[in-house]
Amino acid sequence: MKKHLAELRTLAEERGIDVSGEMRELERRIENSEPKPLTRFDRVQLARHQERPFTLDYIQMMCDDFVELHGDRNFRDDPAIVGGWATLDGKSVMVIGHQKGRDMKENLHRNFGSPHPEGYRKAGRLMLMAEKFGRPVITFVDTQGAYPGIGAEERGQAEAIARNLFVMAGLEVPIVSCIIGEGGSGGALGIAVADRVLMMENAIYSVISPEGCAAILWRSRDMAADAAEALKLTAPDLADSGIIDEVVPEPGGGAHFDPEGAAEALREAILRHLSELGGLDRTQLIEARRAKYYAMGAWEETGADG
Amino acid sequence: MAWFRKEKQKLVAQKRELAADVWEKCDGCGEILYTRRLEENRRVCPECGHHFQISAPEYVDLLFDDGLTEEFDPGLRSSDPLEFVDSKPYPLRIAQAEEKVGTYDAVLTGVGRIEGREVCAGIMDFGFIGGSMGSVVGEKIARMVEQGVERSSPVLIVSASGGARMQEGIFSLMQLAKTSAALQRLASAGLPYISILTHPTTGGVTASYAMLGDVNLAEPGALIGFAGPRVIKETIRQDLPDGFQRSEFLREHGMVDRIVPRGEMRDTVALLLHHMT
């Protein structure tokens, strides 16, 4: 349409005809067809979209030879977190991720992608296995949060997450984390302490859900859109503040319009980061990872002294 | 018949204000306690053993031979990275908390001696925005742990926190990773870390340093958990069992090593450090 407008303008100039009326109409139509920029809450809804590719979809689209491994060796297998060996670009890697369900039946099985402690302990076990065999770890983050329930508390949800943070801080192999959908607080971070954190364009990552934040600070869950604005939880926000390393662009309309395209973009980014990290030895890797997290935060040093 | 229409005098219970500086009511047993007696008992109810919350400087006095010999990073202050405004702007919230509690944000860090042994410590203060962990808490804890590595001293953290500080958004979440990374470094240096959990310790603090002690100690009856009880109740739509998420429940389920009354805390810590250093 823009081309049409330019042609019309040239034509009008060449022949000296007045087409300003038609031009105005075309301009108006162009303006209306341009998609409005997404609000942060639009992105929250896109991040939660039922049709979005989930962890197993990405693994299937970008890897070969996936062998899923189950269980934390203590209590049970948690289907809200999946993991196992896979081949990426000809090399063995450990892939781990939250897994949501596509329908109600699968969601009940996978607890809507909200893990119990045994899910985090399975993830931790697989990370240590990757370290033992010198293979990189790739994680896919997509959870509204770790499950708040009686069993989860009895079995130490907090300890399970804390232990993973500790393990990931000292893991002697490269870790690349990809926030593919919802990055829900500690439940997300529990598999996302990494050398590189990539984020899909319409994914979100936050200390608390916009609904939870609105309920506490505004005393109403209906204020979730305002809370989403205040929390600055989108991929571009987090890239600006240096929390994540790269925003992976999604196909027009979101990853679910072209899952293969989304997976290809993510795969390219993962491989690029893995190859950069491949040049570091174990000590450099851990020191750089620690330095990266040490630098995160916003504070000022005032002159006060004790 | 005027007497018939006589207005009844309403019976109004006169609310008796307790002079807060003289008497306090125990949240545990409802007993009215003489404040001075409570203070002498380290703010533990002499009737039922209920542990009242205490401030960071009070906990320092309780644990250390002679207080902190050096305070670390007293000049570290929160900035407002998200320009967050809810019912009030975040910088105002900080300023009010500083006025109420002191300028150390929700954690006081430094070094002192316990039974003659040098210990680097962080002591949280629930009075400062619910002991919430934002960038300053995370940064001070990480720097204090690094001091432990540098001085080869054991590290001790007393936790009291509602979790990550919402007003700093994702920056708060990243403090979980930062503090855990610092403790990982301490552990690789072979140095001990004792975590003391007090009422309440929930959310991001529990899901990072509070649960990572070589030894986790808890004061009796403290609420300790990942999710808060209200969130759990709303999620599962059931009543929660008695004693759920209290120290005794955590000990039973293997998450804390010992429950230690406040009056025995210093001796217990000293004995543990004797074995571990």
Check residue A14 and give its pLDDT.
73
For residue A111, what are its two tokens? 């607890």
Residue B252 distance to chain A (closest CA, Å): 9
Are B81 and B62 within 8 A, CB to CB?
A: no
CA distances from residue A172 to A137, A287, A289, B180 in whole angstroms, order as listed: 10, 10, 10, 16
**What's the CA gap between B202 and B276, in Å, rounded?**
27
Residue B1 in this model has a pLDDT that exceeds 60: no
Strand partners, B217: B196, B258
B177 and A207 within 8 Å at the Cβ level: the answer is: no
**Would you tell me how many other CB atoms lie within 10 Å of the CB of residue A150?**
16
CA torsion sign for A96, A97, A98, A101 is negative
**What's the CA gap between A26 and A215, in Å, rounded?**
46
The residue in chain B having the minimum alpha-carbon distance to the alpha carbon of residue A214 is: B86
Alpha helices by DSSP H, listed for B133-221, are: 135-151, 169-188
Q: What is the mean pLDDT of residues B173-185?
A: 98
Residue B65 in this model has a pLDDT that exceeds 60: yes
Residue B23 dihedral angles phi and psi, to the nearest 5°: -125, 145
- Interface contact A179, partner B, CB < 8 A: no
**What's the CA gap between B125 and B204, in Å, rounded?**
15
Are A177 and A192 within 8 A, CB to CB?
A: yes
Instruction: Identify all chain B residues contacting A149, using CB atoms and an 8 Å cutoff.
Output: 227, 232, 235-236
Are A163 and B208 within 8 A, CB to CB?
A: no
Find, among A193, A268, A200, A266, the residue nearest to A234 by Cα.
A200
Check residue B110 and give its pLDDT.
98
- Confidence tier at B3 by pLDDT (50, 70, 90): low
Check residue A22 and give its pLDDT.
72
Find, among A139, A76, A146, A140, the residue nearest to A111 by Cα.
A146
Alpha helices by DSSP H, listed for B77-134, are: 90-101
The number of residues in chain A equals 306
SS3 A152: helix
- In this predicted complex, what is the ipTM? 0.92
**What's the CA gap between B156 and B113, in Å, rounded?**
11
Check residue B129 and give its pLDDT.
96
pLDDT in tens, A71-99: 999 999 999 999 999 999 999 999 999 99
**What's the CA gap between B50 and B61, in Å, rounded?**
19
CATH superfamily to which A40-294 belongs: 2-enoyl-CoA Hydratase; Chain A, domain 1 (3.90.226.10)
**What's the CA gap between B165 and B97, in Å, rounded?**
13
Strand partners, A198: A178, A246
pLDDT in tens, B190-223: 999 999 999 999 999 999 999 999 999 999 999 9
- Interface contact A151, partner B, CB < 8 A: no
Are A126 and A87 within 8 A, CB to CB?
A: no
pTM: 0.90
Instruction: Identify all chain A residues contacting B132, using CB atoms and an 8 Å cutoff.
Output: none
- Interface contact A170, partner B, CB < 8 A: yes
Residue A20 distance to chain B (closest CA, Å): 45
pLDDT in tens, B78-129: 999 999 998 899 999 999 999 999 888 999 999 999 999 999 999 999 999 9
Check residue A306 and give its pLDDT.
42
Residues with Cβ within 8 Å of residue A36, at least 6 apart in sequence: none
pLDDT in tens, B262-274: 999 999 999 999 9
Q: Which residues of chain A have a pLDDT value below 70?
A: 1-5, 8, 11, 19, 23, 26, 29-35, 304-306
